[in-house]
Every structure is written in C-alpha cells, then in structure tokens.
C-alpha cells in the first residue's frame, strides 16, 4: 500500500494537530508519517513530528518552491497550512499541488483574501444578510458612534493590538496607536468559536460550536462544546455567503440571544483538539477526502457539553540536540514546477 504522508506547515506549538493527523492515519489503517515545516528549530511540533524541515518565511519568494520540493521528496499527499500569512499563497497554488497529487487543505483564494481583511469580511457578510458586527475603518468611524467600541488591526491575528475603547480619550489614543485598524461595535456577550470543515464544493461536513470560557494570548484555555442550533445555522449561512474548503473557524459573540460574527479564519483553530475529542474528527475526514473517498455531512454529530481545560508542557533539549537531525537540510528546488 502506498504511504500517505501529511505535511503540516508552520508547526510551531501545534503538537495536538500533529498528533491528531498521526492518529487519523492509524485509525484508517494507512502507512504514513506526519511531517512539519518551521523556521525555528525550537518549535515544539518539530520535536513531535515524524520528520521536520526548516523552511524560509512564507514571505520569501522561495518558500512555496521549497514546500513543493518537500512534498515531492517525501511523497506527501495532504498539505495543511496553518497560519494566516501563508493561506493566500497556498490557495493560489492549489491546482499546482493537485497536479503533483497533493491536496491542499485550504479555501480558494477569494475566501482567503476576503477573510484576511476583517473589515471586508464583516461588510460582505452583512451585505449577504448574515449577522456580523457593525464595523468601520479608523478613518470612516463616525464621531457620534456611542462608546464602548472595539479596535484591532484590520489584518491582525492572535488578539495582538486588540483593545476596548471605553472613553473619548481611549478612542483618540487607540485610533492613532493601532495601525490600519478596524473598529467594531462592542460585543460583551459570551464568545464562541465555530469550527467548520467544508468539502471542496463549499458544503459544510461538520460544524462544532465551542464556548471560549477562558482565553489566554488569543487561544482558548478552557471551554466547552455547545450544540446550539442558532450557532450552527449562523455557520451554515456564512458558508453560503463565502465559498470555503477545508477547515475554517468562525469567531462570534452573543448580542442578547443573537450570535454575531466578528471575524472568520479559514484555517484550523487553536482549540481544534476539543472539537476532535468531541467526535468531529476533522483530520480523519481530510485524509479521506484526499484519498478521494466520499465523506458524508455529519453536522451536529458531536458530543455536547464536553469541557476542555488546558495546561502547558515542555520539552527539555540538550544543546547539541536543539536542531533535530535533518531539520536544516534544504530541499533542491530546481526541478519544481
């Protein structure tokens, strides 16, 4: 049987995702390994994956060529991009990878470009009749919009540069402090992430809402699954308004009894281990799709009220072993299309 190898890019701290793909291969009886790429030899996932490669930053012109060369050398059949910066790059190259027999688990280029602009995302959703936060650019913000408001970088991630503006003084300061900001209505209700997996036609295969009860550095620390029809319906509406493929996560808060989207990230979420543990095995479904097998929708099929509480763990490396053998080997790219 031909090996089925998976490549997870920007491995970083995504140890649970690497482990989940390894489990998916075993559960399907497939021989294969999980490989990661990264720029840093100290990234934890580098030391958990079966093999790891150092690659340049995704902004480097050679980045995509090196990833394609790794795929050819390693017999990779599924590539899983994980960070916002590289999603449009992989989306534009999906057909090129497909010609190599490699499925890229990311949405088409228009969806990635749209979602990398948080202001454009909310405007697009609202124009399509989907509940999304009222949003303005910093320059467009009317003087009479009542406080509090929320401000963050229009293309940011990980809650970096995100602030509540509760007074005229804070409004004046943060509008100057945050570069190219989006300003949104202040939503103070419970916060949810809705994990969604779509097939290549944009049809949702699985939808799992999770309440983000405790958040640390923009990532869920404690939370629970919530089988809420309103949240599931909102995700379905968003997927009708924007054509996605592969994993996405929808960020929303409650306004009274109504869930309101404030951004969408077309990639795996940091809290995906909870979704997988609840029975919605996105990695296994992606592997099956890459094999060309039929994957039936199973929206709502997950364990409700399953809690996750997370903690830090560490690897301890002696200085000579910081760089894993093979990690610094650069792939030849001359013959890569």
Residue 248 C-alpha from the chain's centroid: 6
Average pLDDT over residues 139-164: 90
Q: Is the pLDDT of residue 337 over 80?
A: no
Instruction: Say how many C-beta atoms besides its own lie within 10 A of residue 250's C-beta.
Output: 27
Predicted local distance difference test score (pLDDT) of residue 315: 85
Task: Please write the tens of the pLDDT for every residue from 31-62.
Answer: 999 999 999 999 999 999 999 999 999 999 99
Expressed as residue numbers, the domain containing 80 is 5-105+315-321
In a domain, 87, yes or no: yes
In a domain, 279, yes or no: no
Average pLDDT over residues 137-141: 95
Q: Distance between CA 277 and CA 135 in Å, rounded?
A: 35
pLDDT bin (cut points 50, 70, 90) of residue 21 is very high
Per the CB < 8 A criterion, the answer to whether 97 and 71 are in contact is yes
Task: Please write the tens of the pLDDT for every residue from 75-87.
Answer: 999 999 999 999 9
How is residue 119 written in tokens? Answer: 């202001």
Instruction: Say how many C-beta atoms besides its own lie within 10 A of residue 75's C-beta.
Output: 14
In a domain, 124, yes or no: no
Q: Is the pLDDT of residue 335 over 50?
A: no
Residue, of 329 and 84, whose pLDDT is higher: 84
Q: Distance between CA 4 and CA 326 in Å, rounded?
A: 20
pLDDT bin (cut points 50, 70, 90) of residue 334 is low
Predicted local distance difference test score (pLDDT) of residue 336: 41
Predicted local distance difference test score (pLDDT) of residue 317: 87
pLDDT bin (cut points 50, 70, 90) of residue 312 is confident
Average pLDDT over residues 203-214: 96
Task: Provide the CATH number for the domain around residue 140.
Answer: 3.30.1490.20
In a domain, 292, yes or no: no
Q: Distance between CA 328 and CA 310 in Å, rounded?
A: 32
For the chain, what is the mean pLDDT?
A: 93
Shared domain for 168 and 84, answered yes or no, is: no
In a domain, 331, yes or no: no
pLDDT bin (cut points 50, 70, 90) of residue 277 is very high
Residue, of 157 and 247, whose pLDDT is higher: 247
In a domain, 168, yes or no: yes
Shared domain for 145 and 54, answered yes or no, is: no
What total number of domains does the chain contain? 2
**Residue with token string 């995906």:** 272
Query: Which pTM does this prediction carry?
Result: 0.93
Task: Provide the CATH number for the domain around residue 37.
Answer: 3.40.50.20
The 3-class secondary structure across the chain, one letter per residue, is CCCCEEEECCCCCCHHHHHHHHHHHHHCCCCCCEEEEECCCCCHHHHCCCEEEECCCCCCCCHHHHHHHHHHHHCEEEEECCCHHHHHHHHHCHHHHHHCCCEECCCCHHHHHHHCCHHHHHHHHHHCCCCECCEEECCCCCCCCCCCEEEEECCCCCCCCCEEECCHHHHHHHHHHCCCEEEEECCCCCEEEEEEEECCCCCEEEEEEEEEEEEECCEEEEEEECCCHHHHHHHHHHHHHCCCCEEEEEEEEEECCEEEEEEEECCCCCCHHHHHHCCCCHHHHHHHHHCCCCCCCCCCCCCCCCEEECCCCCCCCCHHHCCCCCCCCCCCCCCCC
Q: Is the pLDDT of residue 283 over 60?
A: yes
Average pLDDT over residues 167-192: 96
Shared domain for 83 and 20, answered yes or no, is: yes
In a domain, 180, yes or no: yes
Shared domain for 138 and 101, answered yes or no, is: no
- Percent pLDDT > 70 in the chain is 97
pLDDT bin (cut points 50, 70, 90) of residue 158 is low
Predicted local distance difference test score (pLDDT) of residue 126: 98
Q: Distance between CA 281 and CA 16 in Å, rounded?
A: 13
In a domain, 293, yes or no: no
């Amino acid at each position: 049987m031909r090996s089925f190898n998976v490549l997870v890019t920007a491995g970083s701290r995504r140890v649970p995702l690497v482990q989940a793909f390894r489990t998916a291969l075993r559960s399907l009886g497939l021989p294969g390994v999980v490989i990661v790429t990264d720029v840093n030899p100290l990234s934890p996932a580098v030391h958990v994956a079966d093999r790891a490669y150092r690659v340049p930053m995704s902004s480097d012109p050679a980045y995509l060529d090196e990833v394609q060369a790794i795929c050819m050398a390693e017999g990779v059949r599924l590539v899983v991009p994980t960070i916002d910066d590289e999603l449009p790059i992989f989306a534009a190259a999906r057909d090129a990878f497909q010609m190599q027999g490699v499925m890229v688990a990311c949405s088409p280029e228009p969806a990635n470009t749209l979602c990398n602009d948080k202001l454009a995302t909310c405007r697009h959703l609202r124009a399509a009749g989907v509940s999304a936060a009222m949003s303005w650019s910093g320059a467009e913000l009317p003087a009479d919009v009542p406080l509090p408001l929320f401000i963050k970088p229009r293309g940011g991630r990980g809650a970096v540069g995100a602030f509540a503006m509760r007074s005229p003084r804070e409004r004046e300061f943060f509008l100057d402090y945050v570069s190219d900001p989006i300003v949104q209505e202040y939503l103070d209700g419970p916060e949810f992430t809705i994990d969604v997996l779509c097939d290549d036609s944009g049809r949702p295969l699985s939808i799992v809402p999770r309440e983000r009860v405790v958040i640390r550095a923009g990532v869920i620390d404690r939370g629970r699954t919530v089988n809420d029809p309103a949240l599931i319906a909102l995700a379905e509406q968003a997927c009708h308004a924007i054509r996605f493929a592969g994993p996405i996560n929808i960020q929303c808060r409650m306004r009274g009894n109504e869930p309101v989207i404030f951004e969408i990230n077309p990639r795996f979420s940091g809290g995906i281990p909870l979704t997988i543990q609840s029975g919605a095995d996105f990695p296994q479904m992606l592997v099956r799709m890459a094999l060309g097998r039929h994957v039936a929708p199973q929206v709502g099929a997950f364990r409700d009220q399953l809690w996750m509480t997370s903690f830090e763990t560490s690897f301890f490396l002696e200085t000579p072993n910081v760089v894993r053998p093979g990690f610094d080997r650069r792939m030849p790219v001359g013959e890569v299309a």
